[in-house]
Structure 1
Amino acid sequence: CLGSDSCPGWEQTLVSQSVPVLPMVSFSSPHSLLVLLPLISSAFVPSQHHRPVSRAPPTTTTTYPMTPSSSPTSDAADASDGTSSPRAPPRVCVLGGGFGGVNAALTLAGLPWPDDCGPRPEITVVDRDDRFVFLPLLYELCVDAASMEEVAPTYASLLGGAEGVRFVRREVTGVDAANGVVHVSKVPSSTEAGERGTVPYDALVVATGAQLDLGTVPGAEEHALPFYTVEQCVELRRRISVLDQKR
């Protein structure tokens, strides 16, 4: 009951549990069957205070709300006209478009939502890339055994059919938990307008994943080729092609 007065104590932290579920997304090829295993089954956990992650510079130019409301509305009667004010949809911001972030967004969007829990949440997924990468099959893209859309579909196609879910391609620069705002900046390769902006939220999911660090292994930065993104996959395929031509 996200945002419902009947569910006191809910706050801005989501927890995930590894519970097997049925496949949520699939494509035409058997190679590209996506089985999203982590299930966000316990939605919001009680907490006594917010914990700011980081603070971003206050200079922002663009706001990306799904609705103009930024604070909960009351079901109490309006003193001016005697009518009750509709409750604003709770806004959930998901940082990161990997397995955890995508599954959190799709699972939350697909949950049954009783009328007494108020409007369904509006979910915003933020990621600096425009494609979800199914890492277990990335090698098949490298050897031309699968297509780009099978291994790395765009977030637009992946999330487009989910009710109340949208995608914003931006890089996160900070989180102001006290004010419920995520600070974002334009991705260098993005053509969207707006250099800096904010995404307001009522609940925040942090699913930014792991960051590759070759510096921890001596010699890796100079001689190793990472294999974690579509761009790195394309580069590996190019280098393999060069070696084949030298045979």
Structure 2
Amino acid sequence: MTKRIIVLGGGAGGTMAANRLARQLGDEIKAKKAEVVLISNTDQHIYQPGFMYIALGEKEPEHFIRRENSIVHRNVVLITDRIEKIDVKKKVLKSRQNHYPYDYLVISTGSRPDFNSLPGLAEGASNFYTLDGAIKLRDQLANIEKGRILITVDVPHKCPVAPLELVLMLDEYFRKRGIRDKIELKYTYPINRLHSLEPVSRWAEPEFEKRHILSETFFNLEKVDPKEKVAITMDGEEHPYDILISVPAHTGAQVIIDSGLGDEDGFIPTDRHTLKMENSDCVYVIGDATNLPISKAGSTAHYETETVVPNLMNRIKGRPETAVYDGKVACFLENSLHDASMIAFDYKNPPKPAAASEFIHWFKAVYNELYWLNARGIL
């Protein structure tokens, strides 16, 4: 009897998982003992870390977009459909017109910035967390000659170091244009340091001081007045801006919320080592969809597939699961337009940023191109 594995979500984690499963279960798929199905709500695959480079005018949007069917392994059954309900009791996914039963399910539905979370935010703020937002911000940055750029951050959000990277890159962006002295850069964060990871905060502090980047901690945005161009905090302080770049708190996918599988923010309670949804033996969760206290980043999903894929392979082959996830994450930290640092950490070992160098920046640029091999399950 054919065992069906459905991977829900065609982003980085879901595509990697489906492709790796298809490669490792090739004989079983050929013998019709297994089937790997990838369900995505779009036929496009977008490399989301590229949004920052679009906003800074470094790359064109098309550079980071592929057709999903061009990067999916031939042994994967690719379906484009919008799933509206996950019924874990009946082991079926439901869209408006179709039902998809499964034996094993991998949920990789990601997270999304909620621009409707605060009054005026959607109308008054720019962003680099969506494709349209990055394109709009690119044009705003290109046209500004003087004024204040205010960056606000709420948590949780994916790519946790990205707001820091952006402000550091903006510093050089405006220096290259010869107008840095006319641009005030102000970065804010909701707790008492520049980043939730203390080593990253300590790494950034001297860079801010050296480059005269302003910062304010315990900054919690409450609403935005888009007409007056003012950001208003919970303590009533008003902060005028010429460009407001906001990173709102992210939530889980709507299907997770509608299916009653998530916590109050829509993230799925997940075992930190097996990556199984709590109280389920056949549902696995990877990437941003989990509620795990680790970075919501593409590398997280990548390392999580290294646990989920071999365990599913073993189950199909009738063997016990032996792989465990240790919380591994690795992130690049762009320090400017020409150098970068990086961090790697796990549940037991805290991050320690490497010394910034042009080599790491170059390596990041190379990875941006190699990503497509990674998504194909080759790297």
The answer to which structure has the higher strand fraction is: 2
The answer to which structure has the higher helix fraction is: 2
In the superposition, the TM-score normalised over structure 1's length comes to 0.49
Q: Which has the higher contact order (CA 8 A, sep 6+)?
A: 1
